[in-house]
């Protein structure tokens, strides 16, 4: 059992403001909160589960909060939840069978089921409370949790001879406990002291289909309403009492997603509607629209009639829908990306653009149509086929580039459907055959696979076309297109593109060819523009067989992430102008032994921050922060020691304010780093935060608006030196301590700042309060 201290704001204060600046060293989730799958309530709050995390809604204040691994949950990926009013405990079940009990500001983690070796499915489908116990409907049986003792009490296996059988739902009618399973419905007396004995569970053989799967049930007046899961379009509902049953007409020939009740109504959630029945099972009406603007079609996951008199619907696309009469609804929705899919990402300034498509291991399509997610000043706009008709048939956006000279302009490449450009007003143009030089796949003429896009210093947009007749294409600001053909090289699969300080184009190649990396310089003569690099000495010395990532650091060096760690080309200009351009592995000392940096890892991402440090994302080991030369490991985050959802990092981007957007195969999360983009034109808008430093704050203090490697001296009001530091990119970090490592006293402290050559200086102040 593990206790995790939960932030005070967890259930009481707003955490949902996307644009809110987070403190240094803290995290913020960037998850979709529109996809609700379960709902429950306490006296004051509505709680809803997404497939990833939770949200809470204050019934009196109308405030939405986010609840995730960032602010206290033990895990990622929620399957269901329920609130026990008697013990004031929220029980959260995760898709990996982990469990959290949340009570009085604490999270108590019960990982027994997760850790236990159980054959078959361990999914927790439903949670039902009786007295002090929570009965969990699991993929193998029933698990009983003692809420008061905070421990697993028992496990019931219901199948013949005690075999595993999946339990979908539980409910109680009178003294009988009923279980809806994959092999029929079982019942047992809830007061039987030996429910762990399978022989005490009796199958309801009088039902028309006693051995079929039943996946939902609910007690409604004197009946137990059960749903028979069928292989045809619609399911079947039965109302059971004693040894008799009647079939319930649900009005919709559709699959049943959930059953919920109020005192006088039965709610049947279908794919795109809610059927409402009266106590005698007569049809009341059908909810097929929320009557909002555009008449949004419901996609209900569950319906709750609250103690405050309102109805709350957990919608699978629209978030939390609220109504007092089931006639007119209002939406309560937290802003966020459309889905958790993050394949590629680009960041310029404070603008973040995410491409949500994908490719499989053999570079085939996965046909994701989630679109493009754009974060501007903290607010997400999702662009996809639901709001942009031009994207109706488009799938697998795999590469994105923002124009560094005009962050409102960006381009996104599809692995199959060509190029798409956008500006501050949204979609601008779709480029393909007929209106550009882009050429289709050489084998399948209707497919146009773009592996990389990038803008150079002259605002030219470059596009790498995989498996086509022309490897490269350039669109000039005037709109003119030019294709660059390189014979057999044009048939390569290009996985990415980087433009460096020299306007060279760097393109990793999929495994299988003679080269793992191609480099292009338009300024060279025609037959010398493209060079191929491989693992041979004198020809690149690229480690491993695959290049996954590239970065151009602040010194002009090219960092290369491969399936065998990292290598660096220190003089990339030598590729075209003569001299050694072989990549060099970095030798580091770890545990007293010399070894190559991350040589056993697939390095999927390398991004450079404002202090020239390297953020390195891997496939299995999470994300590292390395010193500028790669020698020192400054930070290492994994899902085990941080709020990261997964150790598989897919993409990383850094804003000018030092927010590290980390894409994983489970979604997007943000970490506030210490380095910001430096001001190349001198000091600008210098300030310190937090300021004043209050008695309850013991974190780092940032001094912002600096130039790279600026000198910072901190003195007391009398001019005595307190501390001195150097900026990391555009900001310096002070611990609030003096040179002896002691916390400074109450007072005003002067901050003297000078750039590296001493030609410019500034002064600001920081107030400490004890």
pLDDT of 19 over the 50 cut: no
pLDDT class of 487 with cuts at 50, 70, 90 = confident
pLDDT of 448 over the 50 cut: yes
pLDDT class of 683 with cuts at 50, 70, 90 = confident
Mean pLDDT for the stretch of residues 626-646 = 96
pLDDT of residue 385: 94
Q: How far apart are CA 529 and CA 294, in angstroms?
A: 53
pLDDT of residue 380: 97
Least confident of 19-23, 208-212, 303-307, 757-761: 19-23
The DSSP string of 676-723 is B---TTS--S-EEESSSB-TT--S-EEEESPPTT-EEEEEETT--EEE
Q: Higher model confidence: residue 464 or residue 704?
A: 464
Calculate the average pLDDT of the chain: 92
C-alpha R_g of the chain: 30
pLDDT of residue 591: 81
pLDDT of residue 17: 35
Q: Higher model confidence: residue 758 or residue 106?
A: 106
pLDDT of residue 2: 35
Structure-block tokens of residue 425: 């007003």
The DSSP string of 733-744 is EE-SB-TTSPBP
pLDDT of 759 over the 80 cut: no
pLDDT of residue 27: 97
Closest among 28, 205, 217 to 662, alpha carbons compared: 28
pLDDT of residue 706: 87
For the segment 293-310, what is each residue's pLDDT rounded down to a tens digit? 666 789 999 999 999 999
Contact between residue 14 and residue 55 where contact means Cβ atoms under 8 Å apart: no
Q: Give the rounded percent of residues in the chain with a pLDDT score beyond 70.
A: 96
- The alpha carbon of 656 is separated from its chain's Cα centroid by a whole number of angstroms, namely 21
pLDDT class of 10 with cuts at 50, 70, 90 = very low
State the pTM of this model. 0.91
Highest mean pLDDT among 11-20, 542-551, 698-707: 542-551
Q: How far apart are CA 691 and CA 751, in angstroms?
A: 12
pLDDT of residue 38: 96
Collect all residues with Cβ–Cβ distance below 8 Å to 180 and sequence separation of at least 6: 137, 167, 168, 169, 170, 214, 215, 216, 217, 226, 227
For the segment 224-255, what is each residue's pLDDT rounded down to a tens digit? 999 999 988 889 999 999 889 999 976 567 89
Q: How many residues are listed for the chain in this entry?
A: 770
pLDDT of 9 over the 60 cut: no
pLDDT of residue 4: 35
The DSSP string of 551-581 is EE-TTS-EEEEETTEEEEES-TTHHHHSS--
Decide: helix, strand or coil at residue 8: helix
pLDDT of residue 525: 93
For the segment 309-326, what is each residue's pLDDT rounded down to a tens digit? 999 999 999 999 999 999
pLDDT class of 162 with cuts at 50, 70, 90 = confident
Mean pLDDT for the stretch of residues 605-620 = 97
pLDDT of residue 155: 95
For the segment 378-417, what is each residue's pLDDT rounded down to a tens digit? 999 999 999 999 999 999 999 999 999 999 999 999 999 9
pLDDT of residue 682: 73
pLDDT of 7 over the 60 cut: no
pLDDT class of 189 with cuts at 50, 70, 90 = very high
């Amino acid at each position: 059992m593990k206790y995790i201290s939960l932030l005070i704001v967890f259930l009481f204060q707003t955490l949902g403001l996307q644009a809110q600046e987070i403190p240094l060293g803290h995290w913020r989730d960037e998850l979709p909160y529109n996809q609700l799958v379960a709902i429950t309530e306490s006296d004051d709050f509505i709680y809803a589960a997404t497939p990833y995390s939770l949200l809470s809604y204050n019934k009196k204040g109308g405030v939405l909060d986010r609840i995730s691994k960032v602010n206290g949950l033990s895990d990622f990926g929620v399957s269901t939840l329920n609130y026990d009013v008697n013990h004031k405990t929220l029980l959260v079940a995760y898709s990996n069978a982990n469990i959290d009990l949340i009570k009085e500001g604490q999270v108590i983690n019960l990982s027994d089921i997760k850790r236990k070796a159980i054959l078959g499915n361990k999914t927790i489908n439903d949670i039902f409370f009786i007295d002090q116990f929570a009965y969990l409907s699991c993929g193998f049986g029933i698990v009983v949790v003692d809420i008061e003792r905070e421990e697993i009490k028992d496990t019931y296996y219901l199948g013949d001879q005690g075999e595993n059988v999946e339990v979908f739902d539980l409910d109680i009618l009178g003294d009988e406990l009923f279980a809806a399973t994959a092999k029929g419905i079982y019942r047992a007396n809830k007061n039987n002291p030996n429910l762990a004995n399978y022989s005490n569970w009796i199958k309801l053989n009088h039902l028309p289909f006693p051995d079929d799967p039943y996946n939902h049930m609910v007690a409604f007046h004197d009946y137990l309403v059960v749903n028979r899961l069928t292989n045809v379009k619609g399911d079947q509902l039965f109302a059971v009492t004693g040894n008799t049953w009647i079939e319930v007409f649900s009005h919709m020939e559709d699959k049943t997603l959930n059953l919920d009740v109020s005192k006088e109504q039965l709610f049947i959630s279908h794919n795109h509607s809610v059927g409402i029945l009266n106590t005698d099972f007569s049809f009341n009406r059908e909810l097929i629209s929320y009557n909002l603007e555009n008449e949004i079609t419901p996609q209900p996951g569950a319906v709750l009639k609250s103690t405050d008199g309102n109805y709350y619907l957990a919608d699978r696309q629209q978030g939390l829908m609220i109504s007092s009469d089931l006639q007119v609804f209002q939406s309560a929705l937290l802003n966020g990306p459309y889905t958790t899919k993050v394949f590629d990402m680009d960041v310029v300034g404070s603008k973040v653009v995410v491409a949500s498509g994908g490719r499989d291991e053999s570079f085939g399509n996965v046909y994701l149509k989630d679109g493009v997610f754009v974060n501007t000043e903290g607010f997400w706009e999702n662009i996809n086929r639901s709001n942009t008709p031009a994207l109706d048939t488009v799938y697998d956006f795999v590469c994105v580039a923002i124009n560094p000279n005009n962050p409102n302009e960006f381009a996104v490449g599809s692995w199959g459907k060509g190029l798409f450009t956008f500006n501050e007003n949204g979609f601008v143009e779709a480029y393909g055959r007929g209106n550009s030089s882009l050429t289709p796949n050489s084998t399948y003429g209707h497919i146009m696979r773009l592996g990389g896009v990038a803008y150079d210093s002259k605002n030219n947009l470059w596009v790498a076309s995989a498996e086509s007749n022309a490897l490269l294409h350039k669109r000039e600001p005037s709109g003119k297109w030019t294709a660059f053909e390189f014979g057999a090289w044009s048939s390569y699969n290009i996985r990415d593109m980087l433009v460096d300080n020299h306007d060279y184009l760097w393109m990793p190649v999929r495994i299988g060819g003679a080269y793992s990396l191609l480099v292009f310089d338009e300024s060279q003569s025609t037959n010398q523009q493209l060079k191929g690099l491989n693992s041979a000495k004198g020809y690149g010395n690229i480690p491993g067989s695959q290049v996954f990532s590239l970065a151009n650091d602040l010194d002009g060096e090219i960092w290369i992430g491969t399936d065998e760690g990292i290598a660096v080309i220190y003089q990339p200009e030598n590729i075209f102008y003569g001299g050694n351009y072989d990549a060099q592995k970095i030798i580091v000392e770890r545990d007293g032994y010399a070894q190559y940096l991350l040589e056993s890892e697939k390095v999927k991402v390398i991004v450079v921050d404002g202090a020239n440090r390297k953020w390195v994302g891997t496939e299995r080991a999470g994300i590292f922060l390395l010193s500028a030369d790669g020698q020192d490991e400054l930070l290492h985050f994994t899902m085990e020691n941080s709020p990261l959802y997964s150790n598989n990092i897919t993409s990383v981007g850094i804003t000018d304010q030092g927010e590290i957007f980390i894409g994983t195969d489970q979604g997007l999360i943000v970490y506030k780093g210490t380095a910001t983009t430096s001001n190349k034109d001198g000091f600008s808008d210098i300030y310190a935060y937090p300021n004043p430093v209050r008695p309850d704050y013991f974190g780092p203090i940032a001094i912002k608006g600096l130039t790279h490697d600026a000198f910072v001296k901190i003195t007391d009001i009398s001019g005595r030196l307190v501390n001195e530091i150097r900026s990391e990119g555009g900001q310096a970090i002070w611990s609030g301590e003096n040179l002896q490592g002691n916390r400074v006293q109450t007072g005003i402290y002067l901050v003297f700042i000078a750039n590296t050559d001493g030609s410019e200086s500034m002064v600001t102040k920081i107030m400490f309060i004890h």
